Structure 1
């Protein structure tokens, strides 16, 4: 029986902890069903706390932990914790720091080490991701890159494995992370079976189609914020850098410099992101022809916009509409 240790803290997100425990228990149920109840469980997933005492989560839930030697587990998971701004993300690893020395040794011994969402910040703080390929929540990309610049971040990917280290993106990517661990601990065939039972796409590999391109880096440059608002209102208008700079009484050089400092981008690239994001919303919520949508976001040539759209989303506009279209209001409980 393979052992999976979850290195939790009182700040861990409860749904992630229960999700991990439940996923690997589902694996055991499927395995025993296939073996007609005669086989022992495949996997034992258990919670660990830094001090060995029960966990007390933010919701007031108390969870027992097990006194296993987690360093000897076959796989070790650092679950996400509550953190929503730079200060919290920078401090997120403090409550897990007691794990780090033995986590380093476990990694050196070839144990699988996994994390997703804000758990990747904890893994990066341990030093294990230094000069390694990894992914994380795309929403916090700027903070991650500033805190851990020596990590080779691959935010286009939903899940990244570098040696025995596995990282995944935000929230629901934890299911794909569990599938990857199941594949390596049990086998590909079984991982595909449990994916079908749980109605999970095992081939979901990219975060790009899910990114909201209109969400930019937080900054305090009031003038750049004014320009951003102006670009949103003038989405379909022709773009001219010199005219934009003149409208806000700036030189082109100053405009480019301030945009670069505030958003790590150029005004044109920022406008392109806004246009693609608006096109995505129209594709999701209307039946307008592609040609009409292209005009509304400032392009006349469908072919050139199609290339831009693919570069930002990895889908053609038609493919994106097919995947994300909303056919009327969401109805979770149809009669």
Structure 2
């Protein structure tokens, strides 16, 4: 269920001497920055993340991670508040390495958390531990491609899918697994979509430029970042523009609303916001267009009209110049991710 602003979702990130610090704290940072970072970049009031990530280990004592980084857990298993989510971020073990008895305490903790209603997650080679719980029997699963054949040998009752980046499985869809390498980003976004909202997951993806590959950072940026102007006249106009940017001749209406001579208004608006009034209107329209392209199947021409452009060709050229992608390419890139996160959130 999505979290309200007052809910706290406790996420236990399993710390073992085989973990890599990059993935462990990558999960920590992304979850801790949910909601908080988007608000900060948009000049909003400070808010906390709905997630409370905790690095937990069997005894809570500092240890050296698999890549040599010193890790200081937040809690021992016994001290950690009852988790809503437990995640095995990864294990730096060679494929086929004998792990008999090495993780007995961790396996007990995972089973206890499962019995108490927690969602269990693994990334990459962390599937070794989830498989050891027996909870994957009869279900689909994924892991790093280098491990799947050996996991299929050791756990033949599980259907291993090396080609899948994300698998959501098990009773009540309470097991979530990421495949090879950087697929952990997708798992983190899926957790945010399910436990907070798909919209906030998309915000996190854009703040952190997740899955950028060959796409310019401009495609991820929020055009409406920044705080409201300190000039009270300009601030009042910004509030009006946020709801009326789609109207015809909005700059003329802003001038009238301000009660200032046109030249004076444009000068004060530019000084207060860093952009001319018409540029500001374009910014609002294009940001709304991005949301529509992500979340609807409206034709590009209809999206243009919806946000205030009667000339679809002009809209497409402007969009490409400001976002570094055509509207159609933007939809292919982000609409698919948005749809996937919504499916995960719906269970």
Q: What is the TM-score with the length of structure 2 in the denominator?
A: 0.53
What's the counterpart of residue 166 of structure 1?
176
- 1:258-309 CA-to-partner distances (Å, cap 9, x unmatched) read xxxxxxxxxxxxxxxxxxxxxxxxxxxxxxxxxxxxxxxxxxxxxxxxxxxx
Determine the C-alpha separation between the residues in 2 that align with 1:59 and 1:14: 7
State the 1:32 CA deviation: 4.0
**From 45, 52, 69, the counterpart of 1:44:** 52
Matched, 1:6 2:35: no
Matched, 1:119 2:126: yes
Unpaired segments of 5 or more residues in structure 2? 1-7, 213-332, 334-347
Matched, 1:133 2:143: no
Matched, 1:180 2:190: yes
Matched, 1:26 2:36: no
State the 1:118 CA deviation: 0.8
- Secondary structure of 2:120's aligned partner: strand
- 1:136-155 CA-to-partner distances (Å, cap 9, x unmatched) read 11222211111111112123
State the 1:185 CA deviation: 1.3
- 1:86-131 CA-to-partner distances (Å, cap 9, x unmatched) read 1x1x41x743320222321321333111001110011101222122
1:49-64 matched pairs, under 5 angstroms: 49-64=57-72
Determine the C-alpha separation between the residues in 2 that align with 1:35 and 1:187: 21
- Secondary structure of 2:102's aligned partner: helix
Unpaired segments of 5 or more residues in structure 1? 203-322, 324-335
Determine the C-alpha separation between the residues in 2 that align with 1:139 and 1:17: 20
Matched, 1:193 2:200: no
What's the counterpart of residue 151 of structure 1?
158
8 Å CA contact 1:79, 1:115 repeated in 2: yes
State the 1:79 CA deviation: 1.8
Q: 1:60 to 1:200 in 2, by over 3 A?
A: closer
Determine the C-alpha separation between the residues in 2 that align with 1:58 and 1:15: 10
**From 83, 104, 115, the counterpart of 2:111:** 104
8 Å CA contact 1:9, 1:95 repeated in 2: no
State the 1:201 CA deviation: 4.4
Determine the C-alpha separation between the residues in 2 that align with 1:76 and 1:175: 16
Determine the C-alpha separation between the residues in 2 that align with 1:102 and 1:59: 24
RMSD: 2.3
- Alignment length (residue pairs): 200
State the 1:9 CA deviation: 0.4
8 Å CA contact 2:32, 2:51 repeated in 1: yes
State the 1:71 CA deviation: 6.6
Q: What is the TM-score with the length of structure 1 in the denominator?
A: 0.55
8 Å CA contact 2:165, 2:178 repeated in 1: yes
What's the counterpart of residue 289 of structure 2?
none
State the 1:77 CA deviation: 0.3
Determine the C-alpha separation between the residues in 1 that align with 2:167 and 2:35: 26
Q: Which runs of 4+ in 1 moved over 6 A?
A: none
- Secondary structure of 2:58's aligned partner: coil
- Secondary structure of 2:103's aligned partner: helix
